[in-house]
Structure 1
């Protein structure tokens, strides 16, 4: 059995694709997960023993946090503004989070359904600080699929 090529498994960069628009400067992605409810079925067996069975329930919606260095690109702000003013028809979008390898080739895509921005946070502003300013976008979604 051949060993997997783990060199390509290192996620060097990340991107967000929303309605065909790609933002490739994402430096961190956190909270990306697929989850569903668990239903407990309590019953007695034929011989009278009490058992609890766990069954899969409904999928849960999720949230993912995207962090990037502050740039002139205002796509995050425009998207947040639509959601903030209740324009949910234009704020809810389909898209994907893409993991790229060191050569820029997509390794994996996490497709998000009905995603919209929950919040946008700008990093701390400190005079004389030499760290990079960041912006964190929290995106909520109804469903995630791995492509």
Structure 2
């Protein structure tokens, strides 16, 4: 049976959707990862030989880093402040990282469960520099699903 020919995706732009609010100006996403523990089962086979079996364990929580150009939008700062001041009921959110094609149509969604901001980093500030100022938001999450 022949495998289907599928076009590979080119991530033209990225967005973050949290509680219905979409921020489409994300320029870089790194660290999206689904991972789980590995359980090693050591046993002897019926003929007495040593065997090592690997079994799937619990899913692991993860972190994703989002980078965008610095703007007047203060949504990242407000979200980080909620978590810093212990307002976890408003800081913990459900949402998704969205990959868009060149026409702005969503290609894939990476749904994040119980996500909250771990840190916010502003890029280097250098007088006379012509590079774009950026902000990096690190979000920790309990579970990720691909939709």
Q: TM-score, normalised by structure 1?
A: 0.97
Deviations, residues 105-143 of structure 1 (Å, cap 9, x unaligned): 000000000000000000000000000000000000000
CA distance in 2, matches of 1:126, 1:55: 51
Encode CA deviations 1:16-53: one digit per residue, 9 max, x unaligned: 00000000000000000000000000000110000000
CA–CA distance in structure 2, aligned partners of residues 62 and 133 of structure 1: 26
Q: Give structure 2 stretches of 5+ with no counterpart.
A: none
Q: 2:115 aligned with 1:104, yes or no?
A: no
Instruction: Return structure 1 stretches of 4+ with deviation > 6 angstroms.
Output: none
- Figure out how many residues of one structure are paired with residues of the other and give that number: 145
Specify every segment of 5 or more residues in structure 1 that has no aligned partner in the other structure, as ranges. none
Report Cα offsets for 1:81-121 as digits up to 9, x if no partner: 00000100110000000000000000000000000000000
Report the Cα distance in structure 2 between the residues aligned to 1:39 and 1:4, rounded to whole angstroms: 35
Structure 2 counterpart of 1:126: 126
Aligned CA-pair RMSD: 0.8
- Quick one: distance in 1 between partners of 2:30 and 2:19? 21
